[in-house]
Structure 1
């Protein structure tokens, strides 16, 4: 790889990392504003106009709070837990295609850190590693509530990853590839995968709530039973890392769902827009058209994040036995049924309509 391309990739990594942190920061603000709207309140309104600086105030508070490590905690692992959680949350964005390639003169900028042919497996691997940060933190805290929260997180993760994997198998049968870039490119115009895999998307969405520990599946940090769950003993920025990891995971999950099922950076009329832009602004079109696609992808992500928040403040939390019953007795059989139906549909389509 040329030195210039290495610099471009490094710059893209920094930009995506910064965007992930900003999205996590302002997701906390949006969460409180959405909750206030649904509960007929005002929400944060003191730090800056409309409370827009509230995330900065919260971040400053996290940095300045006293750093406490319990006497009987496992010191090194107590630090490793939140570090691992935030690291695995951030590296999931490496394979997401944020837009088409930008052509600026002789420079080509690919809006994807890396396009590996097993991108979906990479996402699953990263998600699987994320639960270790929770497990390590809960165990190292030497607190029964933290340990119970960590055990819940691990069992919940195992249960719902199976359903999520099975829902993706049906999607792979339709797309024929594991590359997120290729899946996005196949969904031009209105050929979005959600139209071909509505049940698969619904299963993936429910599992995404469980994987990100969002209500109504936030049992690992259930404050009514476990005080604060796996991060009960944490304070200062260690607690901040766990909270940031949750919101970054929500951002990445929204990006993955938008890419897999809702066309990613594609939108209706994209080819028409590209053709006319090439006539109207031939020199600027190779830059503007991909950026419009990126803006469309972020609009879809914001809608998914709003949906995550809407559900949190609308639906009550499941009991733990209900959570596990849903995963093993309902979602897995539905996912297997979806695979069978998809296989039958593909067989009939290939035999009679090709």
Structure 2
């Protein structure tokens, strides 16, 4: 198998994985909500309600596709398409596993191993704002427009705190390459003096404050509770999605769940060692590259799915912020704390070097 064929297979596999996780995240959301509220959740469509995402998908496909008379038709269609497209291509630079050996050749489980992977991801996140803003403005509805303005203000505000949290990780690892950041968490000592097991030198032990800032910012970027002000049904009906129906509404909703999946994949890479797991070098030495590679994929996805569960747990636990509280937290709390953390990180790096 040549490299091009492997990359095509990997792209298709990631596309299917992202859509499957997004679909079944809707099922998991309802099950977690039911767990929190002491009820059953979906239990009619198949065993344990596992066919519920298929029923929801069929409903979206067969509902009437309505476009408001005075809407900007091209932009109205472009909005949800852009959100879904950006959500899917962000996974291209994430290392989903260590490597697989096929036909004597070692293949990296990363579609695009570029030196500026972090910048690529931040750029894609910034472009994603346009999908929501375009959709809200093109709807020609005041509630949709207010929701879109809220979304753009919120996402731009929390991108700053997210970027500052990222800078501390970049300073520590000395690279913008997500593959290099993952490998840096395979060996070493925590704060240079606590020995670690192979695969357990995770950045969250070095940067717990940066992790907390990044996690909160990721919730805001994904429009998840308690930061779902852009689609606040009590004030804005459904915000920027008010005029959408059928599969266009489905694309917005699926885009949010894909964003949640990719956000947790990025959190796993930056703070929880990516595909590294305890004893990964021992497994590679004793059982070969392929067994270690498959286990690395399983370890990565296990961390990601736990992160998704925490996102859902937060949604069904915390109440929604007021908008002034949301902006206060972003500008007056997270950004100053992230700057202080960056200053401390720089001082520690200079002291040890």
- TM-score of the two chains, using structure 2 as the length reference: 0.95
Rounded Cα–Cα distance in structure 2 between residues aligned with 1:23 and 1:327: 29
From 111, 131, 134, the equivalent of 2:132 is: 134
Rounded Cα–Cα distance in structure 1 between residues aligned with 2:184 and 2:93: 17
Partner of 2:101, secondary structure, is strand
Per-residue CA deviations over 1:36-88 (Å, capped at 9, x if unaligned) read 01000100000001100000000000000011001111111110000001000
1:49 aligns with 2:47: yes
Partner of 2:293, secondary structure, is helix
Residue 15 of structure 2: aligned partner: 17
Residue 177 of structure 2: aligned partner: 179
Residue 195 of structure 2: aligned partner: none
Paired residues of 1:12 and 1:113 also in contact (CA < 8 A)? yes
Residue 217 of structure 1: aligned partner: 227
Runs of at least 5 residues in structure 1 that lack an aligned partner in the other structure: 278-284
Rounded Cα–Cα distance in structure 1 between residues aligned with 2:79 and 2:105: 41
Residue 337 of structure 2: aligned partner: 334
Partner of 1:112, secondary structure, is coil
Aligned length: 341
Residue 191 of structure 2: aligned partner: none
Per-residue CA deviations over 1:256-280 (Å, capped at 9, x if unaligned) read 0000100000011111222221xxx
Q: How far 1:105 moved relative to its partner?
A: 2.4
Residue 85 of structure 2: aligned partner: 87
Q: How does 1:121-160 map to 2 (within 5 A)?
A: 121-160=119-158
Paired residues of 1:104 and 1:286 also in contact (CA < 8 A)? no
RMSD over aligned Cα atoms = 0.9
Residue 205 of structure 1: aligned partner: 215
Paired residues of 2:25 and 2:257 also in contact (CA < 8 A)? yes
Rounded Cα–Cα distance in structure 1 between residues aligned with 2:106 and 2:274: 20
1:262 aligns with 2:265: no
Partner of 1:108, secondary structure, is strand
Q: How far 1:11 moved relative to its partner?
A: 1.2
Residue 281 of structure 1: aligned partner: none
Residue 282 of structure 1: aligned partner: none
Partner of 2:22, secondary structure, is helix
Q: How far 1:161 moved relative to its partner?
A: 0.6
Q: How does 1:150-299 map to 2 (within 5 A)?
A: 150-188=148-186, 189-277=199-287, 285-299=288-302
Label 1:106 to 1:273 Cα distance change in 2 as closer, same or farther (>3 A): closer
Rounded Cα–Cα distance in structure 2 between residues aligned with 1:63 and 1:307: 30
From 300, 303, 310, the equivalent of 1:307 is: 310
Per-residue CA deviations over 1:270-313 (Å, capped at 9, x if unaligned) read 11222221xxxxxxx22221010010000000000000000000
Per-residue CA deviations over 1:182-229 (Å, capped at 9, x if unaligned) read 000111122100111110111000000001100000100000110000
Q: How far 1:8 moved relative to its partner?
A: 1.3
Paired residues of 1:101 and 1:108 also in contact (CA < 8 A)? yes
1:316 aligns with 2:319: yes
Partner of 1:182, secondary structure, is helix
Q: How does 1:102-113 map to 2 (within 5 A)?
A: 102-113=100-111
Residue 8 of structure 1: aligned partner: 6
Q: How far 1:233 moved relative to its partner?
A: 0.4
Q: How far 1:5 moved relative to its partner?
A: 1.5
